[in-house]
Structure 1
Amino acid sequence: MKDLLCEIRDCKVCADHLPLGARPIIEANVNSKIVLISQAPGRVVHESGIAWNDQSGKKLREWLGVDDSTFYNEDNFAILPMGFCYPGKAKTGDLPPRKECAPLWHDKVWEEMGSVKLKIIIGSYAANYYLGKQTNLTEKVHNYSEYLPEFWPIPHPSPVNRFWRMKNPWFEEKTVPKLQDKIAEILS
């Protein structure tokens, strides 16, 4: 696993298409219990080199019911984005993750991981890749139990998604407490 992570962190496959250059962000080890499959690092994360070290990460840790030390313990959480590098800015939010990363690296990462109890699918890019495009993200999140025990889809915790959360208060009122219970059960 260590060799694979070094290889991924040295990847330059799409460097010419990235506004800030390549800086692949991934965190994992063979003992990781929960894998967070998300879209791609934002600019702040790119600059710091620390996954989820931004407002989205703060909200995600709140939803998961964990503190920073629990979150950044790789025995607890692996971080496997769809795109490992910051893709650039769009009109609202960031550009979609680069399409090269997941097909190139995800299967290799899964081959190294033997202790995974849950894969949390964060946002539509990861949901479409892992759960298919038959339904939209809101339906996937609302019907999360259909994907258990392997997957648990959630929306992206970005501040840009605050309108989605306002339109769908059931997520934070009813689903998040169940997710927190599941996380606590796995990590206990």
Structure 2
Amino acid sequence: MPLDALLADIAACRACAPYLPHTPRPVVRVGAGTRLLICGQAPGRLAHETGLPFNDPSGERLRTWMGVDRETFYGRPEIGVAAMAFCFPGTSPQGGDYPPPARCAALWRPGLLAQLPRVELTLLVGSHAQAWALGDRMKANMTDTVAAWRDYLDAGVLPLPHPSWRNTGWLKRNPWFDAEVAPYLRRRVAGILGA
């Protein structure tokens, strides 16, 4: 199936409607020119409302890690975003969003990834994306997986923590991320964008 037709089918998807507290609104931004693919957990509330992935403070932090501004993030065809689930899963009573429903990834990800042959680097943002993409190669937890980031470069993936404010403490406890991983990511992004 051509990419445009597949994206139209994804936009029309209502497979998770019975399980969501709102009308589904799939949020995916990829194209034939996608070379850097960002795979997070699922769109947040603001992404659901606006149709723009990472349209929140998490996105600001992610863009800082990447070394790009908002205009570049949303305007360059080389940058694509396709989370593990394409619709906002809702907010749990304990705070934070619910995890991405597995049915979305099973239904759409294999076909979508097959239509993105130019992807050179995939950012696995958070443990859900890492577990799905890495399988048995994932370490015992997200911290260990991100710490072993060099082990995954051969597969064209870079595991990252989620850029949520909830991980501010994690970033303070793990200064190696800002010292090693973020600079590497900025260099790779600059190379992909031809900067």
Per the normalisation by structure 1, the TM-score is 0.95
Q: 2:30 maps to what in 1?
A: 28
How far apart are residue 39 of structure 1 and its match? Answer: 0.2
After superposition, give the CA deviation of every residue in 1:62-113 in whole Å (9 maximum; x if it has no partner). 1000112221135211111111111111213111011111111111111211
Give the unaligned 5+ runs of structure 2: none
How far apart are residue 134 of structure 1 and its match? Answer: 4.1
- Correspondent of 1:176 among 143, 165, 182: 182
Identity, in percent, stands at 38
Report SS of the residue matched to 1:108: helix
- Residues in 1 aligned to 2:158 and 2:101: alpha-carbon distance in whole angstroms: 23
Residues 31 and 63 (structure 1 numbering): CA distance in 2 closer, same or farther, change over 3 Å? same
Paired residues of 1:92 and 1:160 also in contact (CA < 8 A): no
Report SS of the residue matched to 2:99: coil
Q: 2:147 maps to what in 1?
A: 142
Amino acid at match of 1:104: L
Q: 2:90 maps to what in 1?
A: 88
- Residues in 2 aligned to 1:22 and 1:74: alpha-carbon distance in whole angstroms: 26
Per the normalisation by structure 2, the TM-score is 0.92
Q: 1:6 maps to what in 2?
A: 8
Residues 187 and 74 (structure 1 numbering): CA distance in 2 closer, same or farther, change over 3 Å? closer
- Correspondent of 2:117 among 106, 114, 119: 114
Paired residues, what number?
A: 188
- Residues in 2 aligned to 1:183 and 1:140: alpha-carbon distance in whole angstroms: 21
Paired residues of 2:139 and 2:145 also in contact (CA < 8 A): no
Report which stretch shifted further, 45-54 or 118-127.
45-54
1:152 has 2:161 as partner: no
Amino acid at match of 1:172: D
CA RMSD in angstroms, aligned pairs only: 1.2
Runs of 4+ displaced beyond 3 Å? none
